[in-house]
Amino acid sequence: MAKQVRIFQLAKKLGLRTEALLKVLAEMGLEDVSATSSIDIETAKAAAELLAEQAKEARKRAEEAAAAEVARLEAEAKAAQEAQEAAAEAQPAAAEEAPAEEAAEGAAETEEGAEAAAGEAEEPEAPARWAPAWAAPESLRTLEEQLAELEQELEEDDEPIFVPLPEEARRPKGERPDNATDVPPVVSVLGHVDHGKTTLLDALRETDVVDGEHGGITQHIGASEIELDDQKIVFVDTPGHAAFTQMRARGGQVADIVILVVAADDGVMPQTIEAIGHAKAADVPIIVAINKIDMPGADPSRVKQALLEYELVAEDFGGDTIMVPVSALKKEGLDNLLEMILLVAEVQELWADPDVSFTGVVVEAGMDDSRGPLSTVLVRNGEVKVGDVVLCGTTWGRIRRLNDWRGKSVKSMGPGHPVEVIGLSEVPQSGQVMTAVEGVKEARATAGDRGDALRDVAMEGNARASLKDLYRELGELTVKDLNLSLKADVWGSVQALEDALMDLNDQLDEIDINIISMGVGEVNESDVMLAVASEAIILGFHVGIADAAVRMAETEHVEIRTYEIIYEALEDIQAAMVGMLDPIFEERVIGHGRALRIFRISRIGVIAGSVITDGHAQRNAKMTVTRAGETVFEGTLQSLRRFENEARTVEAPNECGIATNDFRGWEEGDEMEFRADVEIPRNTTFKNTR
């Protein structure tokens, strides 16, 4: 995917107003974008070039206009001189007037021409109005430099939106060895929120013939398996909330087949498009489940039509994308869908080597209070056994227990199946590869080396000054810090929360969200200690707070907020960010009044006995006095009295005495306008860009 940049960030980089950039993008045919939309670097370049071009033209026109003005002045001077000379010459022979007139006419013509040229030039040229400094020819070079810089920054800064899965986490490729075994397809159900993914997954699970015999699931591990006619299908769970893009992307990457659920009554929606992107990026075939066909407004052909745009062409539209109408709720069409899954899987000829050393990919991981770090692993190759020493990212351990997808303890698990692994020293991250290693010594050494390498990278990252730091240094922005510490039940949620918070961070220049620590498990004393040191707020997601941490937080005045729903956490943070913004004051008209009677009192001065006609008057307000539409005074309202007493404010329709030392020429009937600096509530709308 080409490098992406947010429009407002690009505008900032180029020293432009965002609206100006949006205007140019609209001219380029990109109308459905807003300040927080992302565009790719090529589009960014094209927009900047168009701007530069426009600015250059505007400048050229301005220069032409200036030249025309010079020509006009010269022509005028010349004509006047000629007229003078002609007049002088004509004096002796009055019959020769014509040339002088002609000359005068000629001058007039030139003048008209020049005026026309000047008129054209005065026409405000949009680009000239908001053309940034670099648009001047001498600094056009800077534009190129800035773009190159931007590209460089994107190159360095922007983590790839989706971290690709390591090669070992994918299906083995190449020649199928003789000893290979067939493995079940791994299926991810993706689609827009509320289109019925959960309902469909549950309904599909219920079709499992074995399920009834085993008495259902005891402990859900984030993946499941069903068996029909001796054939198995593995489903991995993918969270639905918008913030979990990364996890869904991973779900798409580990899958052999993506089921794209599209509600027939709702059609193609943002997360539908996102899901198509994930599947295509991972090169995984898509089966479309057109769901909710039982609904009155359901129109499967409209969904098929809409999907054409994303190169998903239904078979009855002449393409080869399998689209199955279903009702997850009424359990209609499920057999057909399962049949199609098995059909697509059969074509893929999925295999694994059971005899090589174990490798697996983590699809879910978390912390359990009594059992410690847990991870659900999809066994890719080989076999994993209780007692094996395994390595996963920077963590390792000897496997104490393995559970199958129903939570039932097993001694080993072969390739193609999900299994819950207990015994790691820390919670791994989803998407990481788990491998069996020789022994504890090797595991510890490799995990240590990897940890060191990660820390080095992190240090480098910290050393790099952020754009906001730069602003801060330049004193252009008062940037306030919002320090946060994140705890969640699983790493996926921590990452999702981090991603979503960084998204918010990018949307508001004046607040800098710093995530000072992240972790899995309940909020504990060391979290609170760290929060004290860094003045951070602790956000817990799906986790409890240890009693000792509660007590410590109380005495140390550390705020701990826990959430069950991610968008509630995000809403809270958004509110906190807006609350931290400096208030903006703007001069506004606060009221009007009219002078009814003028009192001239010696030693005190002139007091206008007035009525407030609307709004209010307030002491020290700015005041404009007009008479018959003409301004007679502009200054400050210095004294405001009501019933002999000084008043701070007087509301309409009350009467009052108004005076100012700077103006004594009051007359009855004078109109007053009062203005004051009013605090404008800060209102920032955040956009969910994921």
Residues within the interface to ligand GDP (CB under 6 A) = 191, 193-199, 240, 291-292, 294-295, 327-329
Closest listed residue to residue 227, CA positions, set 254, 205, 251:
205
Question: Which CB sits closer to ligand GDP, 147 or 289?
Answer: 289
d(CA 452, CA 516): 19
Question: How distant, in Å, are the alpha carbons of 13, 20, 24, 138, 670 from that of 131?
Answer: 14, 9, 12, 14, 45
Q: State the CB neighbour count (10 A cutoff) for residue 133.
A: 9
- Give the list of residues 6+ apart from residue 140 with CB closer than 8 angstroms, or none: 52, 56, 134
CB of 197 to ligand GDP, least distance (A): 3
397 strand-pairing partners:
390, 424
CA atoms within 13 A on the CB side of 656: 26
Determine the Cα angle at 464 with ends 460 and 466, to 5°. Answer: 145
Question: Which CB sits closer to ligand GDP, 326 or 421?
Answer: 326
d(CA 151, CA 44): 10
CB of 152 to ligand GDP, least distance (A): 40
CB of 404 to ligand GDP, least distance (A): 24
CB of 434 to ligand GDP, least distance (A): 28
Question: Which CB sits closer to ligand GDP, 242 or 433?
Answer: 242
CB of 333 to ligand GDP, least distance (A): 9
Tokens of 645: 């007493």
CB of 271 to ligand GDP, least distance (A): 9
- Give the list of residues 6+ apart from residue 250 with CB closer than 8 angstroms, or none: 162, 165, 363, 430, 431
Task: Decide: residue 158, CB within 10 A, 0-12 exposed, 13-18 middle, 19+ buried.
Answer: exposed
CB of 385 to ligand GDP, least distance (A): 35
d(CA 1, CA 136): 33
Let me know: does 577 contact 511? Beta carbons within 8 Å. yes
Helix (H, G, I), strand (E, B) or coil at 222: coil
Let me know: does 143 contact 48? Beta carbons within 8 Å. yes
Closest listed residue to residue 650, CA positions, set 604, 597, 596, 592:
592
Per-residue 3-state assignment (H helix, E strand, C coil) for 298-359: CCHHHHHHHHHCCCCCEHHHCCCECEEECECCCCECHHHHHHHHHHHHHHHCCEECCCCCCE
Closest listed residue to residue 413, CA positions, set 390, 439, 388, 383:
383
Question: Which CB sits closer to ligand GDP, 288 or 367?
Answer: 288
CB of 234 to ligand GDP, least distance (A): 19
CB of 171 to ligand GDP, least distance (A): 27
CB of 166 to ligand GDP, least distance (A): 29
Question: Which CB sits closer to ligand GDP, 132 or 240?
Answer: 240
CB of 679 to ligand GDP, least distance (A): 41
Nearest residue by C-beta to ligand GDP?
A: 196
CB of 528 to ligand GDP, least distance (A): 35
d(CA 251, CA 186): 9
CB of 174 to ligand GDP, least distance (A): 37
CB of 315 to ligand GDP, least distance (A): 22
Question: Which CB sits closer to ligand GDP, 10 or 264?
Answer: 264
Q: What amino acid is encoded at 509 in this protein?
A: D
Question: Which CB sits closer to ligand GDP, 38 or 198?
Answer: 198
Which H helix or E strand runs over 159? none
Closest listed residue to residue 488, CA positions, set 569, 549, 548, 433:
569
Which H helix or E strand runs over 473? helix 467-474
CA dihedral 170, 171, 174, 179 (to 10 degrees): 140
Which H helix or E strand runs over 260? strand 257-263
Helix (H, G, I), strand (E, B) or coil at 487: strand
Question: Which CB sits closer to ligand GDP, 198 or 336?
Answer: 198
CB of 222 to ligand GDP, least distance (A): 15
**281 — phi, psi (to 5°)?**
-60, -35
CB of 650 to ligand GDP, least distance (A): 58
Question: Which CB sits closer to ligand GDP, 197 or 487?
Answer: 197
Q: What amino acid is encoded at 381 in this protein?
A: N
Tokens of 166: 């390591």
Question: Which CB sits closer to ligand GDP, 25 or 298?
Answer: 298
Question: Which CB sits closer to ligand GDP, 272 or 375?
Answer: 272
DSSP type of residue 369: T
Question: Which CB sits closer to ligand GDP, 296 or 629?
Answer: 296
- To 10 degrees, what angle do helices 18-27 and 41-90 make? 90
CB of 235 to ligand GDP, least distance (A): 13
Let me know: does 256 contact 171? Beta carbons within 8 Å. yes
Q: What amino acid is encoded at 204 in this protein?
A: L
Q: What amino acid is encoded at 220 in this protein?
A: H
Helix (H, G, I), strand (E, B) or coil at 615: strand
Q: Return the exposure string of 92-106: e unless at least 16 CB atoms fall within 10 Å of the residue's CB, then b.
A: eeeeeeebbeebbeb
Question: Which CB sits closer to ligand GDP, 240 or 521?
Answer: 240
